[in-house]
Amino acid sequence: MKPLILIIEDNEQNLYLATFILEKSGYAVIASRSGPEGIALAGQQRPALILLDIQLPEMDGYQVARQLTSEPATAAIPIVAVTSYAMVGDKEKALASGCTGYIEKPINPETFVREIEKHLPGIAAAPGAH
């Protein structure tokens, strides 16, 4: 079975690109355009990994990550934050909120899958490899 990845992203172009690249690389993808819906989907579907936009309506990605990691059903799922913020401290803020990794927009199709796979259990590189 293909690993399932949940993308929580409100920007259609980013969602389209990320979905396209992941499906082409053999992953199954489900998507949500808001934090609350994404949290519900994560609990129901238990994806192998969550790709989380930080700039979202209603709840921002930091809040979403905190809630996902505080609920037993979703606490163990790796979360990779995706943000266009280029500010110092954003990476630390994402990690402090419970994200396991961080990717900056714009998505680079050449490195995107490799970046994500660092955080996928069973596919991840050996500890210390990155």
- Check residue 103 for interaction with Mn ion (CB under 5 A): no
Kindly state the smallest distance separating residue 37's Cβ from Mn ion, in Å: 14
Question: Which among 30, 102, 27 has a CA at the least distance from the CA of 65?
Answer: 102
One residue of 34, 55, 63, 100 binding Mn ion per CB under 5 A: 55
Q: Which stretch binds Mn ion (CB under 5 A): 11-19, 24-32, 67-75, 122-130?
A: 11-19
Kindly state the smallest distance separating residue 60's Cβ from Mn ion, in Å: 9
Q: Is 87 left (phi over 0), alpha (psi -120 to 50) or beta?
A: beta
Q: Is 46 left (phi over 0), alpha (psi -120 to 50) or beta?
A: left
Closer Cβ to Mn ion, 34 or 124, answer by number? 34
Distance between CA 64 and CA 99 in Å, rounded?
A: 10
Closer Cβ to Mn ion, 55 or 117, answer by number? 55
- Check residue 60 for interaction with Mn ion (CB under 5 A): no
Distance between CA 34 and CA 3 in Å, rounded?
A: 22
One residue of 10, 60, 115, 117 binding Mn ion per CB under 5 A: 10
